[in-house]
Amino acid sequence: MCGDGSATPPDRARLRRDQWFSQSASISFSVGQSMAAVAVPLLAVQAGHPIEAVGLIVAVSAISQTVARLGMGSLMSRIPTKFFIIAATLLLAASCFTLALSSALWALIVAQLLQGVARAYFWTGSQTHVLRASDSALRALSRLNVVQGVGQLVGPALAGLIGAWSLQASLVGAGALGMLAVAPSLLLISFAPFAFTRRRDGAGRRQIWRRPGVSKAASMTAVAGAWRGILNSYLPVILTAAGHAIPAVGALVTLTNLASLVGSAISRPVQALGSRVANALGTTAAGIGLAVAALSPAPIWIPAAALGVSGLGAGILQTVGPALAADSVGAEERGRAIASIGTFRSVSLLFSPVITAGLVLVVPSAAVACGVAGIIISTPALAEFIGRPSAAEPPRGNQEDEEDAEDDSAAA
């Protein structure tokens, strides 16, 4: 197994049970989190907050997510991974219940701060946990992303149906699902914290995100994060402004997540074409599809088709990227590698709504601003199309120690 960190690895029966608990927690968490992602921007507008503030409110979540991920590399050398997952479920519930009680600006900010930490802890913790219980990084992450994708299919549609009656009620449901995820999280295997790695001199001390495989993975997850940041902030507002009802908006977001699920499912044959091709295809589809959906929100079949293409690309990026990072380092550095690229995702989650909010002030509409942002997201694909393939570099093993982990976080 992938480095369980203990002297006696768990037997296969226990690992199968752990897989079931992990999947149960993931689907419950992802349904609740995706319900909140649809409800929060709509609640902010419904409460009378200006549309320019929506992106900034959502960006608050990315700030706390980034800060939380910065320290995870070294914390995972002290705390078993499962405790990050348990904490995340409780934080998600607290976030949703806060907004169910109040839609004031302070409540939106507090809730988004809590939700950002919840997302950082849950997905980085879950990715690291399943990697340690599997022999194949891509298979483990693909399975996790498929389960997450199923939850994100249900969540937006459920939020739309309940939200047509009451957005606060949909947030109560999301919080309840967060609490439901606590039970299977408590039953996960408590893998030992990662061992501290020793310092090496020279090139071996390079920060983990700068290593060839990890740096490309960071680029892929950054694009996926920017895509998600816009999808969770301005897109629901643009679609409702175009005349689509809240249930229809929920259905469109569900369609997008379905396409993302398909992208995760086909990630293995796509990765077989090479990380360069996977990066180029995923980035182009994610960015251009999002731009078309924003610029042509009606008739409904246009954003539906565009978001399908966009979700497919994002699914490829968010599955192949972490697998590439995990396979590019030694077993004891996998937690740090996943946390490191997760920081890039968090930063892009922060800046994509902020940049879009800035564009809203200088372009004719939020739809145009979102379209421009989508085109910007797709530009890293140009480097893959016109650049030369880089020479493959073998995975690097244990190279840095705890101090290097903190340096990596600061640089990220």
Q: How far apart are CA 322 and CA 314, in angstroms?
A: 13
Q: In the block, which residue shows the tokens 């507090």?
A: 110
Residues in the chain: 412
Torsion, Cα 137 138 143 146, to 10 degrees, reads 140
Cβ atoms of 58 and 353 within 8 Å: the answer is yes
Phi, psi of 396 (to 5 degrees): -100, 140
pTM over 0.75: no
Count CB neighbours of 35 within 10 A.
31
Residue 34: closest CA among 142, 173, 141: 173
Domain assignment present for residue 394? The answer is: no
H helices of 242-365, in order, are: 246-265, 267-272, 275-295, 301-327, 334-360
pLDDT tens, the chain, 412 aa long: 444 444 455 667 788 888 899 999 999 999 999 899 888 888 888 888 887 777 778 778 878 888 888 778 778 878 888 899 999 999 999 999 999 998 888 999 999 999 989 988 998 888 888 888 777 777 888 888 788 878 877 888 888 889 888 899 999 999 999 999 999 999 998 888 776 655 444 444 457 777 878 888 888 989 998 998 888 778 888 998 888 887 888 889 878 988 988 998 888 888 888 888 888 899 999 999 999 999 999 899 999 999 999 999 999 998 898 888 888 887 777 778 887 887 888 788 778 877 888 888 888 888 899 999 888 888 876 666 665 544 334 333 333 333 333 434 333 3
Residue 85 lies in a domain: yes
Residue type for 290, please? L
| Cα 378 to the center of its chain, rounded Å | 18
Half-sphere exposure (CA, 13 Å, Cβ side) for 326? 26
| Number of domains the chain is built from | 1
Q: What is the CATH number of the domain that holds 81?
A: 1.20.1250.20
Look at residue 250 and tell me if it is in a domain: yes
Domain span at 71: 12-194+206-387+400-411
Alpha-carbon distance of 220 to 206, in angstroms, equals 20
Is 6 part of a structural domain of the chain?
A: no
pLDDT for the residue 400: 37
Give Cβ neighbours of residue 362 (< 8 Å, ≥ 6 apart).
none
DSSP code of 379?
A: T
Q: Which two tokens stand for residue 76?
A: 């995972």
Any domain includes 201:
no
Q: Are 297 and 248 in contact (CB under 8 A)?
A: no
Q: Is residue 1 part of a domain?
A: no
CA 375 to chain centre: 20
> Which one, of 189, 213, 194, 205, lies nearest residue 334 by Cα?
194
* pLDDT number for residue 316: 93
